[in-house]
Structure 1
């Protein structure tokens, strides 16, 4: 527990579980009140919000919002401001992937739209909505992927494209919002032990072999990088990509 973010309000998208939940808990532990969004798992989102309140004493609110729905994304930002009084930090974490995506010749248009709408368009729209509320010293932190820089296997073309776009978005937003004293950065995880991609899953051995550590990241290790970028110490860091991938892209 620290007080680095006392008086701040954060919104973490897609934070009912996994990396998003770890980020929300870490920011609350550093003193922020936190709003989280979820698509469908209301029970998990409610449990995360209750854990934030119990473990940190901070205010927490769970908001249903599909990251692919433009109106829902904007409404979730506005609701977070309305319920918690302000917005200082946006973490664009909501994302989708399918470890069994087909090769590009066989992928459906619907799947392409799904991945791009959630991973890329949703982040753009959330940043657009948040920009109206963020004060000087505000933060936007986008969660990308090591696959946005280097793709070691087939089947990830569309997902990798959606995450490579996050790097471009981060750099562009840093120029748009820098004159207002708002920083915009990216955290790019490698394989992380979550329900979506567990360390004991069917593809885990190959994924672990890509890192010299021969293991997955813990969600809390991703959250630690986000916490740094959200902190006052990162006030002169913007347009930057921090890889938390265990050396996969070294």
Structure 2
């Protein structure tokens, strides 16, 4: 699966509860434009946010960004982003924790149609319905692509191979034949590529750490993985798992 496919499925599933309307609502939400006057920043630099950018372009940047950010605001998930699509209101938001200490309230991005149609106005009638995806699940969507870039192998290979096969793959340098596939997925039609380097951690290590935190009844605000493979799970409050929407 390409990152753009993951983005399209995410938008389609959140935009409507009716399969027959999925294509129509996906196109509507995907084309929504970032509104800086109704947003509150700063935002992670790795998201590629700028005036006029659409929701369909911000999410692939989030999914294909380097998880080991070089500077402040580079890590795409350290701020615990929460994506929400409001079906009737025809707006989309990505709320996240402030990047600067001492900032009041939450930060976030606001997206709305470039021009509202008659269908958009009609949809505002009735019970308002919104659907969101919490930070840990949003991070899970991007995890396979991050592992691909760091391991230089497809996520299908990483998912199915045993530890012995992984060791043999590194020893025999058998990752090179798959690198064009991984590169094409990470590129995403112009998306930034991270430096090629071998990962020092395994997906099982990250999964085990996250399951342990969730089993303890704690919320995950973000995950940071350093160059040595050390996993730092940042804990958050219950409000960070599903934050209130300040734009309602």
- TM-score, normalisation: structure 1: 0.30
- TM-score, normalisation: structure 2: 0.30
Q: Which has the larger radius of gyration?
A: 2
